Structure formats: C-alpha cells, structure tokens
Structure 1
Amino acid sequence: MDRDSDGSAAKPGPISPYRWDSKRMNDGFNYFLLNNRTAVCATVGSLVSTLLGFPLDSLKSRLQAARTPVTPFLLATNVFREEGIGGFFRGVWIPLLTISIVRTASFTIYSGTKEYVHRKGILAGNSLKDVAFTGAVAGAASGSSICFGSAPFEIVKVRRQLEYAIAQARGLTIDKPPGTWSAVMQIVKEKGVLGLYQGFRMHFIRDTMGTSLYFLEYDSFRYLMGRSISGEQGPPPSWLPVPTALIPFFCGSVAGVTSWAIIYPVDVVKTKIQQRALANQPYRTVWVTFQRLIRGPDAEHPRPLLVGIGRLYRGLGISAIRSCMTHGALWLIFDWVAQWIDQRTAGMPGAGRGPVL
C-alpha cells in the first residue's frame, strides 16, 4: 500500500473521467452491435466476399468487352503476363469500400421493407408465395434505391478494369494506367459530374431487376430449406440434406448464380454502352447495342443467331463462379456474425429479436 511522507496510508485520489472503463466500453460495444445488427453483418460479409470475388469480376468485364472470343484461362494468362497479379485487382479499393457501403444500405433497406410489409399484414403468411413476393418487393425497393449511389462507382470500376481496351479504342498507348482518383478526375474533366452516371438507365434496370430476383430466390430457397417466416431454421428437407451450417452458403450461391444468369444480358449491354462512352465513341442506343451484340456489326452479313446469343453470354461462366463464391460467402459470414452477435448480447434488452434475413 502506498503511504504519505508521514507514514500514514495515502488517500485515494479522484478518479479521472478519462480512465479506461472496460465494462462500460464493452457494454457500449454490445449495444452498438445489437442496434446495428444488419449493418454489421452485411459490412463484414461484403468486405470478405468482395475481396474474394474481385479477380473473377475483373475477368468478367474483360471478357464482355473483348472484340474477339477468348477463353478465360488465356485471358487470365495474358493479364498476369502483361500486368502481373495486380492486374486482377486493378480498381479493387473503390469496390471494396463502396460495395460494402452500398450492400450494407441494400440489406438495411431490404430488411426495413420486409418489416414494414409484415407490420401492415401484407404477405405475412408462412407460405412460399408470401415469402417469395415479400422478398421480391423488398429487393426491388432496395435495388432501385441504392443504384443512385452505386452508379458512379460502377462506371469508375469499369474504367479501371478496361483501361487498356478504352485506350486502344481512343488510339492511345499507356505504359502505366492512372490510379483510381485520376480516373475519377479524368471522367469529370471530360464529361462533367454527370459523366459518372453514364449508362445509368441500364444500371437502374439491372440493379432493380437483379436485386428483386436475388432476394426473391434467396428467401424462397431458405424457406424450402426449412426456415420459417419467423426466422427459425428447421431441419433441411429429406430430398436435399444440406448440412444446417452450410444452408446459407447453398442458398446464397444458388440465388446469386441463377438471378445473375437471368439479368446477365442487361449487364453486358450496360458494360458496352459505358465502354463506348468512356472511349468517347458515338453513342448507341440500348436496342442498337443489343442488336449488334447478337447479329454483329455487319448488317449485310449477320452472324448466326446462336453465335450471337453466345456472344451475349460471354463471360457468364466466370461470372457464375464469382457469384457462387461471393454470394455464398456473403450469406455464410452474415449468419456467422449474426450468431456471434446473438451470443455476445444474450440477456440484453432486445437481444434475440434481430432482423430476419
């Protein structure tokens, strides 16, 4: 025990208001997790899944923009030889941060819309029809809302991924592509702030349709795999005995692949329109772009229909693998983080009543 100079026991000094209070900090952190459960789960899941899938997303954009057919393996080999491993991650920082923000907003809007619909007693039955339509409505609300914020980041991502193809279309050669911020400033300098919204109409259609389909399918698959409308996960059906821990990965993968396959042509048209705009080439309407993708540039000698359809789905294989990986990982991590939050906040007021996704 510390003593004063006269030998008596020292009196305890005043407690500093800045002294570290681990219990208070821990309680505050728990309340933050509890009150922001959806946002925390979506952010963590999005960061990991975006980083995992970005190299495949980069290859997908390059395949869509390629003028001649090329295999994914050959394209990946060329990218690695010419640009190194960094070529697969060109422009990753903006998507890594912004996709996480956008996806967190998307999940929040989706969750809030579902809760609102259920409070109104609309589509609130414990049936596949109600679950599917609720997911579709909430997904459409989410997709149409977030596209206003995500469109500028999408155009910058396309610019960074297709830097060499865009330079070639302009008749330029580049030794070292500009950084992300330089790409943003160049777009704004050439086109103004609205240049960040080039191809917005197709972006809006893609996000609204795609997000609606995605959540419709995910909610439907989770229902078929034994989850009730209250959020309780029951055993999977006997005809598809997926381990319970892997149900989120399975449902997320299937929903991601199938919904993306349906709207893939829309994404191809969007990418081509944005590529031409970034290369300062004359604008082509959505319909003209679609026709040229199907029938080719020579109207007198159109390519065979099946070949044109194959052109429209170029890069789908890579995209399907990416969707399977990223969306499966997203939902698996989402559920893991949700369970961790539930365990950490057990016994707190409001615990166990987190949003059902």
Structure 2
Amino acid sequence: MSADFWAGYLSGAAGILIGNPLDLVKTRLQAPKAAPTLEATTAPQNFKSHFDRAGTLARGATAPILGYGALNAILFVTYNRSLELLGVNPVLPKNLFKVWCAGAAGGLATFVVSAPTELVKCRAQVSTGNTSSWSIARDAWKHEGVRGLYYGGGITSIRDAVGYGFYFWSYEWSKQALSTSNDTDRQTAMKVLLCGGLAGIVTWASIFPLDVVKTRVQTQLLRSPTLSEAGEQRGLPQNESEMYAALKRKRLSSLEIARQAYQSEGAGVFFRGLGVCSVRAFVVNAVQWAVYEWMMRLLR
C-alpha cells in the first residue's frame, strides 16, 4: 500500500478516538427526539444529559473506528491521485481551485465507506437503549440487504463531495498563508495543527445543514432501541418483518425531511449543534492533519 493510504488510515482512526464523545452530542442535537417519526421537540437539553453513563462516551464509535480509517485512506489516496491527474504537485499544490476539485473527488470516492458507517453510527448514537453497532448493521442487512446499509447515501455523497472540497482547499490556503521558509520544525508543527483545526471548522460550517438533514434521514426509521418497542409505541404489527416494512413505508425523502424540519422548528434547526461540532472539528482535524503529515514524512 502507498504511504498516503496508511497515513490517511491511521490519522482517520486517531481522529475518531478523540472526537467521538462530542460527535455523539452533535448527532443527538441534530436528530429529532420523537421516535420513530420526525415529530419536533423544543425541549431544552443540557450538555451533561448526553452522557448518562461512562459507556455513552464510546457509543457509536465501533463503526467509525473500523470504517473511518478506511474512509480517510480512500480520501487521501484519491485526493493525491486526482491532483496528479490535474497536473498539480500534491506536496505543494498552488492551484486552489484544482485542490477543491481534487478534494471533492476524494469525498465522492469515500461514499462506499461513509454511507453505511454514518448510518450505523448515527442510529447507535441516538438509540436510548443498549443497541450495538453490530445489531443495527445486522438488522439493516437482514431486512433490506446492501440497500439498507446505504440508506441516505445520496445526501451523504453530496455532503462529502462539497465538504471535502472545502476541507482540502481551506487547509492548503491557510497553510500557504501562514507558512514561511524560515519556520522551525516546532513552528511548522504548530501551524499544521492550527491549519488542520481551521480546515475542520470551515468544512463543517459549509455543509452543516446538509449534515442535519442526513442525520434525520438516516435515523428516522428507528429512534428506539428495538423494533418491538417501536411497534408498541406506534400500534404497528408485532411481527418483526411486518413492523419493519410498516416503518419503512413511513420514511420521508431528504427534501421532505428538510421541509418538515423548517416548518416545525425554523431555520435554526439546520445549525443546531454547530457549536459543539466546531469544537470537535478543530480538535479532531488538528490531530488528523498532524498525524497525516508526520506519517507521510516517516513513510516517505
């Protein structure tokens, strides 16, 4: 495997380990409280309430740890190869428009991993029971096959293409603006951390409304720990297969989700959780870029 594959893989895994607790809060703020429908709630939620026990800190982390390393590896390999195809040196890219295009291509390529990973992660994070990532993936596969794991994949791919375009663009722009030829190793390392953190904030600010809709699309089927509880709440058939089919028929499209959210909760709903996400994005992406740059120097 190439150096950028392993550098991307390890940096992605490191980012998930650091950022999962805040990512859990972000997902729960984005998702509607009612289950399994999209009925809105305006009830205040304090930060502490999202961490009901120690195990909550790691909820939903299994799928990202396994998947996000692979996602990051695909992202960086595709990004670097796209830059080469566009005639740009990946080590020191000067054309920021081509950087954005290469980043968007990399983001689109991650769809194969990001769609099922996001679906399992979000459903695990909003679950109020002890539902595991494995059981969520198993249920989706059992009732709908591969298509079930890729539910919400359309809006996920759009989010990733746009977001990663701005991700690489903002990182390279800030690095070129701040770096000088006289920088010491320590100064370079600090600037990598700063530029990586800024890139994370810019990325999420550019796609946050899309991410809110994506979260609601992927979690609308099940917001309770088990199918049987969902059936009891909604008066649905108690046979698991029939119940799943009944819940499935109640699904809304991305546009319907966005329209309903706006009508019931206003425009602010599309930015709910952005503050928490920005803090997480700065920390996670600062670490990710530092690990990536360090691994690339080591492996080269």
Instruction: Compute the TM-score of the two structures, normalised by the length of structure 2.
Output: 0.81
Structure-2 separation of matches of 1:43 and 1:326: 14
Aligned to 1:80: 51
1:222-249 residue CA offsets vs partner (Å, 9 max, x unmatched):
22223xxxxxx6247xxxxx93221111
Moved more, 61-70 or 313-322: 61-70
Is 1:150 matched up with 2:114?
yes
Aligned to 1:260: 204
RMSD of the TM alignment (CA)? 2.4
3-state SS, counterpart of residue 130 of structure 2 = coil
Contact 2:74–2:109 under 8 Å retained in 1: no
User: CA separation of 1:64/1:202 partners in 2, compared to 1, >3 Å: closer, same or farther?
Assistant: same
1:191-227 residue CA offsets vs partner (Å, 9 max, x unmatched):
332111111111111011111111111122222223x
3-state SS, counterpart of residue 42 of structure 1 = helix
Q: Pick from 280, 286, 294 the counterpart of residue 328 of structure 1.
A: 286
Aligned to 2:162: 209
Q: Which has the higher contact order (CA 8 A, sep 6+)?
A: 2
Contact 2:115–2:153 under 8 Å retained in 1: yes
Higher Rg of the two aligned structures? 1
Is 1:99 matched up with 2:99?
no
Runs of at least 4 residues off by over 3 Å: 66-72
Cα drift, residue 189 of structure 1: 2.1
Aligned to 2:23: 57
Contact 2:115–2:150 under 8 Å retained in 1: yes
Structure-2 separation of matches of 1:285 and 1:36: 39
Aligned to 1:161: 125
Equivalences, count: 266
Runs of 5+ in structure 1 lacking a partner? 1-34, 165-175, 227-232, 237-241, 297-302, 342-353
User: CA separation of 1:66/1:286 partners in 2, compared to 1, >3 Å: closer, same or farther?
Assistant: closer
Cα drift, residue 151 of structure 1: 0.9
User: CA separation of 1:131/1:234 partners in 2, compared to 1, >3 Å: closer, same or farther?
Assistant: farther
Structure-1 separation of matches of 2:298 and 2:149: 39
3-state SS, counterpart of residue 277 of structure 1 = coil
User: CA separation of 1:188/1:248 partners in 2, compared to 1, >3 Å: closer, same or farther?
Assistant: same
Cα drift, residue 149 of structure 1: 2.6
User: CA separation of 1:339/1:155 partners in 2, compared to 1, >3 Å: closer, same or farther?
Assistant: same
Cα drift, residue 69 of structure 1: 4.4
Aligned to 2:273: 315
Aligned to 1:111: 80
Is 1:291 matched up with 2:255?
no
Give the letter aligned to residue 58 of structure 2: F
Instruction: Compute the TM-score of the two structures, normalised by the length of structure 1.
Output: 0.69
Runs of 5+ in structure 2 lacking a partner? 34-40, 224-246
Give the letter aligned to residue 214 of structure 1: Y
